[in-house]
Amino acid sequence: MKLLLAPMEGLLDFTLRDILTRVGGVDGCVSEFIRITDQLLPSRSFVRVVPELKHGSRTPAGVPVRPQLLGSDPVCLAENAARLAELAPAGIDLNFGCPAKTVNRHRGGAVLLDEPELIHAIVAAVRRAVPAPIAVSAKMRLGYDDDARLLDCAHAIASAGASELAVHARTKAHGYRPPAYWESIAAVREAVRLPVIANGEIWSADDAERCRQVTGCSTLMLGRGMVRRPGLALAIRAAGQPAAAPRETTASYSDAAVAALPWRRVVPLLADFWADVCGRVERRHRAGRLKQWLNYLRVAYPEAQQAFDALRAVNDPDAISAWVLRIQELPAPASTALQPEKA
């Protein structure tokens, strides 16, 4: 089984890709989208979103990263893909799944699922524009308002020469509301002759196994589940395997993905994440980035809830840096309950 890290605009950027791939279990990543409109972007625009391009298109842990392009003009997308190809990416992905209203309003993402002919033209133009060794893949949802054109879009992507197709098991109208309609991914897999990747509502190792059974897919794409439980990929890989060592058995770690990466191992990752945020993000936005991740983590980790509560009203980066130092020095969970120093 292969496990991929999903693109998540506004959340899963270079910094968090670094942290999550460092944990282990992930075979590859797709970047957040690079918006293509009516201009040929300079190389630095691609590198700004995907700094891994400067390092063989791999994260510091050595995991390949595939940049993703979003747009609706086949010619412009092809020209930009050709320029991106000069940077030797680990493939190029095309976004036909973003549900954001602003993106859809400008004819990007999931709105194109009502136009399979245009989708075919985009994929074909990009495929022609880049060297054959560079894979061209796509990510889509089941449809825009409904799934009436699901198989039309899948056939359009496959017949245009894509090498892989990731399918998020909901329409744009569904948003992120459960359930995920994995059986629809199975229909896509049966209809096209290219590898299909299943995505959506994979929160646990049990979910991963059920998704694999329903869809028949051997590759899964993990998004919010990995952000919430960074040990999820490890737990999926460990499922069904003989335990090499007993897991931690506290109530907090009854979740297999949390047991695979207990809080004491998350703390140094948080510290590294914060250090990178401080080096890359404007001062006024730094606190928000840390709280954003803690907001996901607190669903799985009681200690993260304590941390989130401690930092909820704190926006001064210096105060947060002092707090980060303290939680590394003291044993969890007590450390997270400490209030940060006032700036």
Which residue reads 């051997």 in tokens? 218
- Sequence-distant contacts of 289-294: CB under 8 A, at least 24 apart: 289/15, 290/320, 292/11, 293/16, 293/227, 294/270
CA torsion, ordered 225, 284, 272, 276, to nearest 10 deg: 100
d(CA 269, CA 10): 19
State the catalytic residues.
98
Q: Which helix or strand (DSSP H or E) is residue 165 part of?
A: strand 164-168
- Say how many C-beta atoms besides its own lie within 10 A of residue 135's C-beta: 16
Read off the amino acid at residue 184.
S
What token pair was written down for 6?
């999903």
> End-to-end CA distance of the chain, in Å?
48
- From the list 1, 53, 75, 40, the residue with the least C-alpha distance to 237 is 1
Burial of 172 (0-12, 13-18, 19+ CB in 10 A): buried
d(CA 12, CA 240): 29
d(CA 217, CA 196): 6
Read off the amino acid at residue 335.
S
- From the list 189, 211, 209, 272, the residue with the least C-alpha distance to 23 is 272
